[in-house]
């Protein structure tokens, strides 16, 4: 009787381990897919940066012309200074660099073999912080839309990570 119980127990444990392994593989693939979406959106935000500065430059010129009229000449130096200040305030290069670093660390943990649930959760918190900063600096509707997409993916990833040991 003891031998039969031991055999049944060993089979049950083996089946449980296989099931957990299969579930882990599916979960890891889902996290990789979502991480690719985050990276793609981050690339789109980086690409949009110079376009945002050009757009703000045109809008600033139009507003000044509308307010002062075409007969008042613009001081090109002052205009360029204002544009430079605007570009500096809306520059998200640092945040995108840190986000890329967090993504690389996240990917390495997902592809590793050790327990990493808490570290993944921490990295997701850091990623959300970077994306929130990008959103607060963004003065562009397209960037704001991309930020919302990234935050949505990160939230889905956070829910999945809660199932990781």
129 within some domain: yes
| Count of domains for the chain | 1
Mean pLDDT of 82-104: 87
CB-based burial of residue 102 (10 Å sphere; 0-12 exposed, 13-18 middle, 19+ buried)? buried
**pTM of the predicted model as reported, rounded to 2 decimal places:** 0.79
* CATH at 47: 1.20.120
**pLDDT for res 120:** 94
19 within some domain: no
pLDDT tens-digit readout, 64-90: 778 777 777 777 787 778 777 777 777
Domain holding 36, by residue range, is 32-161
Q: Nearest 5°: CA angle at 121, between 25 and 126?
A: 125
Pick the residue with more confidence: 103 or 117? 103
**pLDDT for res 103:** 97
**pLDDT for res 54:** 80
Please name the helix (run of DSSP H) or strand (run of DSSP E) that holds residue 143, with its range, or none. helix 141-161
64 within some domain: yes
20 confidence band (pLDDT: 50, 70, 90): confident
44 within some domain: yes
152 confidence band (pLDDT: 50, 70, 90): very high
CA atoms within a 13 Å half-sphere pointing along the CA-CB vector of 118? 1
26 within some domain: no
39 within some domain: yes
């Amino acid at each position: 009787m003891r031998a039969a119980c031991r055999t049944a127990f060993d089979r049950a444990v083996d089946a449980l381990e296989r099931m957990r392994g299969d579930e882990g593989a599916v979960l890891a693939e889902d996290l990789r897919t979502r991480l690719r979406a985050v990276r793609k959106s981050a690339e789109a935000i980086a690409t949009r940066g110079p376009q945002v500065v050009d757009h703000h430059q045109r809008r600033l010129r139009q507003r000044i012309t509308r307010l002062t009229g075409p007969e008042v000449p613009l001081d090109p130096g002052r205009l360029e200074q204002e544009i430079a200040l605007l570009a500096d305030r809306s520059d998200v290069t640092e945040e995108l660099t840190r986000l890329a670093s967090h993504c690389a660390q996240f990917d390495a943990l997902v592809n590793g073999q050790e327990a990493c649930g808490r570290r993944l959760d921490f990295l997701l918190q850091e990623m959300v912080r970077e994306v929130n900063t990008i959103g607060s600096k963004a003065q562009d509707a397209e960037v704001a839309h991309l930020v919302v997409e990234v935050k949505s993916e990160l939230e889905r990833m956070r829910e999945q990570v809660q199932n990781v040991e």
